[in-house]
């Protein structure tokens, strides 16, 4: 039987795992991190990836992974949600999206919803 690690031990293992994950960062995560830092004038560390599936009237309106960044040196937010998607003719362009965790945004799901609402509003205004 494997002994259960003490909470302090488990926390140490988790910190080492996160450190290794941050060292071996994909080019995609790195591009998102740089975008977050440049747009929001802060420092960002990738902490997680979470899948989001947004459905409206029974149809998928957005589905993908949202990257979560812990941010520092920002006056109002401690987290930022980010992702990218293809757009333009033949999907040749990549659009980066960043949403700060400022109420009402409090999760990856609500970040996606807020961005969808903004995109719809922008499409009607110009």
Q: For residue range 31-41, what is the model confidence (pLDDT) as tens digits?
A: 999 999 999 99
Number of folded domains in the chain?
1
DSSP strand E in the chain: where? 43-56, 59-72, 79-87, 93-100
- The answer to the question of residue 66 being in a domain is yes
Say if residue 16's pLDDT is above 90: no
Q: Determine, yes or no, domain membership for 20.
A: no
Which domain range does residue 78 map to?
26-125
What confidence tier does 95 reach under pLDDT thresholds 50, 70, 90?
A: very high
Whether pLDDT at 5 is above 60: no
Whole-model pTM: value is: 0.78
Task: Report d(CA 38, CA 89) in Å as an integer.
Answer: 26
Read off the pLDDT of each residue in 95-111 and give the average, rounded to a whole number.
Answer: 97
């Amino acid at each position: 039987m494997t002994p259960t690690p003490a909470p302090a031990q488990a926390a140490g293992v988790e910190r080492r795992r996160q450190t290794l994950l941050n060292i071996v960062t994909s080019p995609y995560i790195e591009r998102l991190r740089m975008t977050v830092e440049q747009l929001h004038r802060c420092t960002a560390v990738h902490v997680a990836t979470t899948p989001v599936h947004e459905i409206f009237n029974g149809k998928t309106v957005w589905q993908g992974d949202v990257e979560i960044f812990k941010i520092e040196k920002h006056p109002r937010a401690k987290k930022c949600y980010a992702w990218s998607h293809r757009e333009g003719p033949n999907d040749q362009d990549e659009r980066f999206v960043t949403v700060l965790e400022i109420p009402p945004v409090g999760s990856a799901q609500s970040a996606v919803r807020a961005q969808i609402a903004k995109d719809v509003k922008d499409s009607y205004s110009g």
